[in-house]
Amino acid sequence: MRPIVLLVCMLASTAASAQASADFIALDRNRDGYISKVEALGNGEVHKRFSAFDADRDGLLSDDEYAAAVQDNQKRILQDSAITARVKAALLAEKGIASLSISVETYEGRVQLTGFVNAAEMASRAGRVTAGVTGVRTVHNNIVVR
């Protein structure tokens, strides 16, 4: 079973790498083999962290630097998805919270709760439960009481 999992991971990595190369080519508008900060505007997540991945500090991202940025973004997406799942599970497990009427979104560990509940205490408890979940950095509690 373990070799199958390893093979699936390797194939997924290869597919992601091929997609990153295609995206790199699309972003490299002047076809110089590098992505400038202006060209990186085509991918907001890469542009946001441009300087963090410009390893040689030349103001350009090489194909390898771009691939590292894409891989880091994919890792963040997986981490945020895991946090969202843990928060939803914690809200479901908590008695007295209308968890099905609460929406959970996560970005870089910042969790936003939205929805409608019947009592202010329920909204407050949902925020406290969320804050106690592993990986949650901040909670933006936008739950409305009807």
Are 82 and 34 within one domain?
no
Are 18 and 51 within one domain?
yes
Predicted pLDDT at 66: 94
Q: Which of 18, 39, 74 is the last residue of a domain?
A: 74
Which domain does 133 fall in, by range? 78-145
Count of domains forming the chain: 2
Q: Which of 48, 74, 100 is the last residue of a domain?
A: 74
pLDDT of residue 6 exceeding 60, the answer is no
Are 25 and 65 within one domain?
yes
pLDDT of residue 7 exceeding 90, the answer is no
Cα dihedral: 104, 107, 108, 111 (round 10):
-30
Are 102 and 133 within one domain?
yes
Are 67 and 83 within one domain?
no
Predicted pLDDT at 58: 97
Q: Which of 28, 51, 74 is the last residue of a domain?
A: 74
Q: What is the CA radius of gyration of the chain?
A: 20
Strand segments (E) across 25-132: 35-36, 60-61, 102-107, 110-117
Are 102 and 50 within one domain?
no
Are 60 and 122 within one domain?
no
Are 68 and 83 within one domain?
no
For 87-136, the pLDDT digits (tens) are 999 999 999 899 999 999 999 999 999 999 999 999 999 999 999 999 99
pTM across the whole model = 0.79
For 19-69, the pLDDT digits (tens) are 667 899 999 999 999 999 999 999 999 999 999 999 999 999 999 999 999
Q: Domain of 110: which CATH number?
A: 3.30.1340
Question: What is d(CA 33, CA 23) in angstroms, rounded to the nearest whole number?
Answer: 12
Are 92 and 49 within one domain?
no
pLDDT of residue 14 exceeding 60, the answer is no
CB neighbour burial string for 44-75, b if at least 16 within 10 angstroms, e if fewer: eebbebbeebbeeeeebbbeebbbbbbeebbe
Are 46 and 83 within one domain?
no
User: Average model confidence (pLDDT) for the chain?
Assistant: 90
Are 114 and 69 within one domain?
no
Are 97 and 34 within one domain?
no
